[in-house]
Amino acid sequence: MTAEPLRTFLSSAPVAGRRAAPRWWGRAAIAGALFSLLAAVALWASNGGIGELASGGAQAIVAGGRLGGLIASNLLLLQVLLMARIPFVERSFGQDRLARWHRWTGFTSFHLMLAHLVLITVGYALPFRTNAFSTFFDLVLTYPGMLLAAAGSALLVMVVVISIRAARRRLRYESWHLLHLYAYLGVGLALPHQLWNGADFLHSPAATVYWWGLYATAVTAVIVFRVLLPLWRNAKHRLEIADVVSEGPGLTSVYLRGRQLGRLPARAGQFFLWRFRDGPGWSRAHPFSLSASPREDMLRITVKAQGDGSDRVASLRPGTRVLAEGPFGKLTGETYTGGPVTMFACGIGITPLLALLWELPYQEGEATLVYRIRYSQDLAFRSELDYLAEQRGLRLIVLAGRRADRASWLPAGFAEVTDVEALRQIAPDIAEHHIYVCGPELWTQLVQKAAKEAGVPGKRLRTERFAW
């Protein structure tokens, strides 16, 4: 795309941004999750759980195992709902926070599931003074649905193992994502065991309605919001590639055209999961942020070649059909109320922040961009940043260099300055600024920590971490 169409694209009016999600949406979601956990415990208690626990001995161990299994099942289904991409939940919390909650919920559910297996096995073995291992294999081989449950548990163990940070770093994103989907199969394989052997699921009409209802809610949410809604939006907007432009070494912008894009509920700062129908491997989705405000007839994303399919973006051709799922993320201007803005970008984290710099209605000279890069040649979008500096008074601060030897968001050349002091040197009144941060997970955490120590309130701090 030549300079003139680029100027036309960026100077055209962006679509009207959506309003911030009402606070009660998030509160209702949290209340619903807490209610579901309390309901699971209450149903266990109504089935004699408290009395069995108080009786001691093997019966108490089995009762504890039952409770652990019920809470594990409840958390597992909540974990599915966290990543079901339910619009009102995603708009309330953002994918960044939901992903962290999904991870914590998953590990908690996994440990409770292990406790359930151990306690049930020990509780059944004690009265007969049998070996716990032989009791376990007897339960698996003779009780209805237990073989399926064992297979489901094995799949969940695999998903937990690959979710450990050390394991995730050794896997390509596509491989990790594909293996992670086996968690759904693991949940499904556990259901027959719970219905055939789980007295807590069937001991009363209330228990039956509750557990079937929770499973049905999780399945319906996945089908509606992860399958049907994306299919409907793609059929409506019919995205395809308009042009592909190199922005520098390993950095490529993709311009996409389509129908009725003004009705796509997207804002600057958000990202989509993209599938480019250019050949084998097109079904794998990749998260890329918008690098400009959405327009009525065009979108722009910018991708850094880092493997995992991102390096093939530069070879895409105009006319290639594109499937998109989203938008996701809360790194937007929904809550911006005016006043000074300071943004912190590291590497490819510049893409959503650049889009926000075009969209936010700050006054001339109110915006500062702190751009952290390794080498000076990594500076992207120089012409656009220069234009924003000239036309809207953007102050650009480039921090280049290798990582510091200490835990810091600053490069090594600033070893004599603390993270908080650097923020106050950039803006003495930093506590009054709206702060937007996007970059690698650890770097983002360090900026966030320094901003809070400098007095920036949480409501003025927006972050997006590039991690999976």
Residue with tokens 């809604």: 229
pLDDT of residue 176: 65
**Span 331-377, pLDDT tens digits:** 888 888 899 999 999 988 999 999 999 989 999 999 999 999 988 88
Helix axes 23-46, 87-125, angle to 10 degrees: 20
Average pLDDT over residues 293-299: 86
pLDDT of residue 2: 46
Domain 238-328 bears CATH identifier 2.40.30.10? yes
- Do the domains 341-466 and 238-328 match in fold? no
What would the two tokens of residue 301 be? Answer: 């994303």
Average pLDDT over residues 46-55: 88
Greater model confidence, 437 or 203 = 437
**Band of pLDDT at residue 179, cut at 50, 70 and 90:** low
Phi then psi dihedrals of residue 288, to 5 deg: -130, 140
pLDDT of residue 1: 43
pTM beyond 0.85, yes or no: no
Q: Which residues, 6 or more positions from 414, have their beta carbon under 8 angstroms from its beta carbon?
A: 399, 404, 408, 422
Q: 13 pLDDT exceeds 60?
A: no
**Span 143-171, pLDDT tens digits:** 766 777 777 777 777 777 766 766 666 66
Domains of the chain, by residue range, sit at: 23-232, 238-328, 341-466
What would the two tokens of residue 310 be? Answer: 């991102």
Question: What integer best gives the mean pLDDT of the chain?
Answer: 85
Residue 326 Cα distances to 131, 217, 230, 283, 368, angstroms: 52, 21, 7, 16, 29
Give the type of residue at 188: G
pLDDT of residue 144: 67
Q: What angle do CA 433, 435, 437 make, to 5 degrees?
A: 165
- Half-sphere exposure of residue 383: CA atoms within 13 angstroms, side-chain side: 8
Q: Do 273 and 326 form a contact (C-beta atoms < 8 A)?
A: yes
pLDDT of residue 107: 87
Q: 216 pLDDT exceeds 80?
A: yes
Greater model confidence, 311 or 418 = 418
What whole-number percentage of the chain has pLDDT above 90? 38
String of DSSP letters for 381-434: -HHHHHHHHHHH--EEEEEESSBPSSS-SSBGGGTTS-HHHHHHHH-TTGGGSE
Determine the topology of domain 341-466 in CATH.
Rossmann fold (3.40.50)
Q: 66 pLDDT exceeds 80?
A: yes
Q: 309 pLDDT exceeds 80?
A: no
pLDDT of residue 7: 60
- Where would I find the H helices in 284-392? 350-359, 382-392
**Span 53-64, pLDDT tens digits:** 888 888 899 889
Greater model confidence, 194 or 10 = 194
Average pLDDT over residues 438-455: 93
Give the type of residue at 165: R
